[in-house]
Amino acid sequence: MSTPVALHRSSADAELRIRWDDGVEQCIAFARLRGACPCSQCRAARLRGRIDLVKAGVTLREVNLQGYGIQLVFDDGHDRGIYPWSYLRGLD
Ligand SMILES: [Zn+2]
């Protein structure tokens, strides 16, 4: 499994940049991350087809390392998502 060697939260570009140990550089938009939140509440909302989940211009307020991934805190107050490395790597 890949692990990141660098994480950069770019507010200017509204994206999280991850450099992985195999040299791959990944950029994921904050809105994409928010929309892909893996917490049970968001998963359930997506299954119900809720499209109001992600507000326009959502920003990422905090990135907290959790060992096997990161907990992301968004400016809409949502902080329940813990994104494992393998899950992040699979996001485009
Ligand atoms: Zn969530």
CA of 43 to the centre of ligand 1 (A): 7
Q: What is the pLDDT of residues 50-91, one digit of tens each?
A: 767 788 899 999 999 998 999 999 999 999 999 999 999 999
44 Cα: distance to centroid of ligand 1 (angstroms)? 9
Residues 6+ apart with CB under 8 A from 60: 9, 11, 16, 30, 33, 34, 72, 73, 74, 75
CA-nearest of 69, 72, 86, 79 to 15 is: 72
Domain segments of the chain as ranges? 4-90
For ligand 1, the distance from its centroid to the CA atom of residue 26, given in whole angstroms, is 21
- Token readout for 37 is 């939140």
Cα–Cα distance measured from residue 26 to residue 18, given in angstroms and rounded to the nearest whole number = 5
Ligand 1 mean position to 38 CA, how many Å? 6
CA torsion through residues 41, 43, 44, 50, sign: positive
Residue 27 has pLDDT above 80, yes or no: yes
User: Could you tell me the fold of the domain covering 4-90?
Assistant: NE0471 N-terminal domain-like (3.30.2020)
pTM: 0.92
The two structure tokens encoding residue 8: 């950069």
